[in-house]
Amino acid sequence: MSRADAVRYAAEYFDSGAFLAELSRRVAYRTESQDPERLPELRAYLDEELVPAVARLGCTARIVDNPVAGRGPLLVARRHEDDRLPTVLTYGHADVVLGEERRWRAGLHPWRVVVEQDRWYGRGTADNKGQHTINLAALEQVLRARNGRLGFNLAVLVETGEEAGSPGLRQVCADLRDELAADLLVASDGPRLAAERPTLFLGSRGSVLFTLRLRLRDGAHHSGNWGGLLRNPATVLASALASLVDAHGRILVPGLRPPSIPDNVRRALAELSVGGGPDDPVIDEDWGEPGLSPAERLVGWNTLEVLSLAAGNPDTPINAIPGAAHAHCQLRYVVGTDVTELGRVLREHLDARGFPTVEVAVGRSMPATRTDPDNRWVRWAVESVARTTGAAPALLPNLGGTIPNDAFADELGLPTIWLPHSYPACAQHAPDEHLLGSVARQSLRIMAGLFWDLGEVGPVRR
């Protein structure tokens, strides 16, 4: 049989209703990793759904307990055909965010797939059950077309805590480095650049949270009796924030800015447009770093966001000067930005600008990663997708958001290639989450072609 057969089998799997049935069964599992009472459901999903799925691929599988107490387990599986062949590691996550049943539109339900024309609603349809179901099914179609062979070795890792920050994932990768050894990672998560544009991304921006807090006194004091005499912490904190990022979103602190955008990243972004979809917000052209295109601002640069800002009682203000104020902030950053000394950088900046009483607390962070766009595996993947679809895919050097890619890029030392099967307006993490059936069908064909092509690479030199 041929590549065309593998791609055709993948389309037939979708058209027969088998993909919908499999996805519906998996969405019914309430795998909310943010709810500690769902630990049995997380394990059941791996045991009852994914262990049989990888067994059909000829893998030996086992469930690995999370090294972080109270967190969900991981599935590790492997199929070995020949030491000389390349090995691909594929990854997915079985957990979802909280269902929030009462916030879904009438007629929809987070734990049931409801199909309305091209939209397939349900929690996890887009993030990430639909995406890893596509990849595992595509592998199965390649096995069928190649008479029981893949033509490469396969490792599978599925976690159950990505929506809770992937606790334990990096430690498991370190502990099982030999078992998870591979030549590259091929995985799927996040959205395409646009629904109609197949996309590859090679890493993600990093993310670090920090809080600025100013407490000047206990309680509030009447603004008529004390206004003009008492320093207002909200006013001071707003001024401190304005010294970090200006009114146009430009980062003002040198230590929070990347050194530059590499030339090959600029080239990859040159022909990409961002937004413009029917459900996308309108981009503010004058926001962010001046002189950069929207794609460069989203993918190639850092952003500092104020996630929340509060003083007093925001919903029912009273005529009083508040005693305290705080702001929760986030720095999204690209490779090349050193955030290891973020607390010190912020402290020195605020002190130098007259804000010594503003407290700085740095929270959770995830590293930035990016495979070189000129890597040979990247060129191979781009050519494979173009061969299936007839057009060059969008190539993002990294995702604008953040995923736990550092576990694979840094801990396992792998080039990482992500092929997302969702789209920007999928309501990921929100009520009415959905997958587009048309994108799922095309993605099944793309992945079947990609995995077939991987089997044609032949022996590799390590």
Other C-beta atoms within 10 Å of 363: how many? 11
State which of 366, 388, 412 marks the end of a domain. Answer: 366
Alpha helices by DSSP H, 146-191: 169-175
Q: Is 273 within the bounds of a domain?
A: no
Residue 161 token pair: 């805590």
Residues 88 and 29 in one domain: yes
The domain of 447 spans 3-204+368-454
278 within a domain of the structure (yes/no): no
Does residue 265 lie within any of the structural domains?
Answer: no
**Number of domains the chain contains:** 2
Whether 287 maps to a domain, the answer reads no
Q: Are residues 143 and 215 in the same domain?
A: no
- Same domain, residue pair 24 and 156: yes
Q: What residues form DSSP beta bridges with 215?
A: 324
Q: What is the CATH number of the domain that holds 414?
A: 3.40.630.10
Residue from 325, 310, 169, 362 nearest 236 by CA = 325
Same domain for 388 and 308: no
Q: Are residues 104 and 148 in the same domain?
A: yes
Same domain for 196 and 224?
no
Does residue 210 sit in the same domain as residue 173? no
Q: Is residue 293 part of a domain?
A: no
Q: Is there a domain that residue 200 lies in?
A: yes
Say which residue the tokens 């920007």 belong to: 424
Q: 182 and 99, same structural domain?
A: yes
Which of these three, 339, 366, 393, is where a domain ends? 366
284 assigned to some structural domain = no
On whether both 225 and 111 belong to a single domain, the answer is no
Of the three residues 366, 397, 416, the one that is the final residue of a domain is 366
Fill in the amino acid letter for 451: F
* Residue 321 belongs to domain with CATH number: 3.30.70.360
Looking at the fold, whether 132 and 254 belong to one and the same domain comes out as no
379 and 437: one domain? yes
CA 101, CA 104: separation in Å to the nearest integer? 6
Whether 291 is in a domain gets the answer no
Tell whether 211 and 193 lie within a shared domain. Answer: no
Residue 442 burial (C-beta neighbours within 10 Å; 0-12, 13-18, 19+): buried
* CA 131, chain centre distance (Å): 12
If you count them, how many residues does the chain have? 462
Segments in 270-375 forming alpha helices (H): 294-299, 342-352
pTM of the model: 0.92
Give pLDDT tens digits along the chain (462 positions). 899 999 999 999 999 999 999 999 999 999 999 999 999 999 999 999 999 999 999 999 999 999 999 999 999 999 999 999 999 999 999 999 999 999 999 999 999 999 999 999 999 999 999 999 999 999 999 999 999 999 999 999 999 999 999 999 999 999 999 999 999 999 999 999 999 999 999 999 999 999 999 999 999 999 999 999 999 999 999 999 999 999 999 999 999 999 999 999 999 999 888 887 777 889 999 999 999 999 999 999 999 999 999 999 888 899 999 999 999 999 999 999 999 999 999 999 999 999 999 999 999 999 999 999 999 999 999 999 999 999 999 999 999 988 999 999 999 999 999 999 999 999 999 999 999 999 999 999 999 999 999 999 988 876
Compute the distance between CA of residue 115 and CA of residue 230 in angstroms, rounded to an integer: 59
